[in-house]
A and B are shown apart, each in its own frame.
Chain A
C-alpha cells in the first residue's frame, strides 16, 4: 500500500470523466495491440486474442460511455516500463497499453496473450473510467491458464476469484483465440476491484 512521505504534496482529487469523454480522442493504435499501427508493418509476437465482454451496472444494464484502459506483459511476460527498456525480451512492436471508449458498454479489444511475469499467472490490468465513478481497477485472468492457483491477486480475491476469470470462447476463422470477460461495476455479481489505499 501507499506509504506517503510526510512532506508529500496533497494530490489533486480524481474526478469523474463524465459521460462526454471525447470520442475524437480515440487512437486506433491503442485499440488493437497486435500491430503497432493499422497502417504500419510491425506485428506483436504471440498468440492473437480477442477479449470481448460487457461493462454492466448494478442493475445488469450496459454502462454506456465507459473508457477502458488495458495494461499487460508481452508474450514473454515482460512489462514495457522504463525499468525494462533494453531488456532483450522486450518486443519492439508491443508496448502493452490499450485504451478504448465504448459507446454502448460492450467492448472488444484485440491484443496478444500476455506471458506470465515471475510469480504471476498471465493477466491483463483493466481500468474503468466512467460517468458516476472516478476510476476502478481490476486484473483479469484466463480460465485455462497455468499459474492461476498460485497467483497472489487471485488468492486475494478469495471466493470471488472466479469473477476475475475470462472464459475461452473458441477461435475465429483468422485464428484468434476469443475470451469473454464481463465487468460488473456493482451488484450481486460485482467484480472484485483493487486499490492501494487503506480505509
Chain B
C-alpha cells in the first residue's frame, strides 16, 4: 500500500477556506529530512510587563467593557514535557465582536479601553496566565446568517514548538456551526476552555486552557 499524506478539509460555509485550501494530498516529508522542516524560533522575543492584562490598555486606565476573564494553562509537548519560556501571542475581539485591526471593516463598536492584543511568556514549568475581555461573537457571513462563536486566538512559539490555535467557550450556540470546529470533529472539545473558580482574582470568570503542541513541531528534542 502506498503511503499518502492527508487531504485537507475545506471548512463548510467558509469562502476563504474554499479559496485557499490545497486540493492535492499533502506530500509526505521524506525520511531523513524531517528536521529541516522544523523551524527553531530564536528566543529574541519580548513582552511588555503589562501585556498579560488585556482588560486595560495600561495600568491605572479604566477597565474595558464586558466580562473580564482570566485564562491560565500549561503548555506541553505530546510527551508531557512542559515548554518553558515560550511566547504566546494573544488577540481577540472586544465585547462587541470588533477587532482593533485596520482591516476589520465590520463597523462594530470599538471600545476605547480595549486594545485586544497581548503577549505573555510561559514560566519554567510551562504555565501561562493572562486576563482579557470575553470576546463577542460576530456575524461572519451576513448573507447566510453564519456567526463566528466567541474565541480567543493564541499563537505559540517556543524553540521548535509552533502552534496557532483558538480557545473557544463552552455551551456557545454558534460552536456547532463554526467551519473550523466542524473540521475538528469530536476533537473540538480540546479547544474549549474549562470554566473554574476565579479564586479571588479581580475578574468575572476564569478558564483553564492547557495547550499541547503536537506533530513534528514539538518533537525536536524528543
Residue pair A152, B216 in contact (C-beta under 8 Å): no
In the complex, B109 has a CB within 8 A of chain A:
no
**A5-B5 contact, Cβ under 8 Å, with A12-B211, A196-B28:** no
In the complex, A120 has a CB within 8 A of chain B:
yes
In the complex, B14 has a CB within 8 A of chain A:
yes
In the complex, chain B residues whose CB is within 8 Å of the CB of A180? none
In the complex, how many residues of chain A place their beta carbon closer than 8 angstroms to a beta carbon of chain B? 75
Q: B5: which of A21, A71, A187, A199 is its contact (CB, 8 Å)? A: A199
Residue pair A199, B7 in contact (C-beta under 8 Å): yes
**A12-B39 contact, Cβ under 8 Å, with A19-B103, A195-B6, A196-B216:** no
In the complex, A45 has a CB within 8 A of chain B:
no
In the complex, chain A residues whose CB is within 8 Å of the CB of B35? 79, 81
CB proximity of B10 to chain A, nearest CB, Å: 9
Please report the C-alpha to C-alpha distance between residue A131 and residue B210 in the assembled complex, in whole angstroms. 24
In the complex, chain A residues whose CB is within 8 Å of the CB of B211? 12
Residue pair A2, B91 in contact (C-beta under 8 Å): no
Beta-carbon contacts of A1-33 to B below 8 Å, as 1s and 0s?
A: 110110011111111111111111101010000
CB proximity of A29 to chain B, nearest CB, Å: 7
Q: Which of B56-64, B120-128, B182-190 contacts A (4 or more CB under 8 A)?
A: B182-190
CB proximity of B128 to chain A, nearest CB, Å: 13
Interface residues in A92-145 (C-beta closer than 8 Å to B): 95-97, 103, 117, 119-120, 123, 125, 127, 129-137, 139
Residue pair B44, A194 in contact (C-beta under 8 Å): no
CB proximity of A107 to chain B, nearest CB, Å: 15
In the complex, chain B residues whose CB is within 8 Å of the CB of A120? 33, 36
Residue pair B164, A195 in contact (C-beta under 8 Å): no
In the complex, A89 has a CB within 8 A of chain B:
no
In the complex, A75 has a CB within 8 A of chain B:
no
| A9 (CB) vs chain B CBs: closest residue | B212
Q: B39: which of A69, A133, A195 is its contact (CB, 8 Å)? A: A69
Residue pair B187, A136 in contact (C-beta under 8 Å): no
Beta-carbon contacts of B1-35 to A below 8 Å, as 1s and 0s?
A: 00111111001001111111111111111101111
Please report the C-alpha to C-alpha distance between residue A92 and residue B186 in the assembled complex, in whole angstroms. 46
Residue pair A16, B190 in contact (C-beta under 8 Å): no
Please report the C-alpha to C-alpha distance between residue A10 and residue B34 in the assembled complex, in whole angstroms. 21
Task: Supply 9 A–B pairs (Cβ within 8 Å), ascending by A.
Answer: A12-B191, A12-B210, A14-B163, A27-B45, A96-B39, A130-B16, A192-B27, A193-B24, A199-B25
B contact set with A: CB distance below 8 Å: 3-8, 11, 14-30, 32-42, 44-45, 76-80, 89, 91, 99, 101-104, 117, 119, 153, 155, 159-160, 162-166, 180, 184, 187-188, 190-191, 210-216, 218-221
A contact set with B: CB distance below 8 Å: 1-2, 4-5, 8-25, 27, 29, 57-59, 61, 63-65, 69, 71, 79-82, 95-97, 103, 117, 119-120, 123, 125, 127, 129-137, 139, 152-153, 155-157, 185-187, 190-199
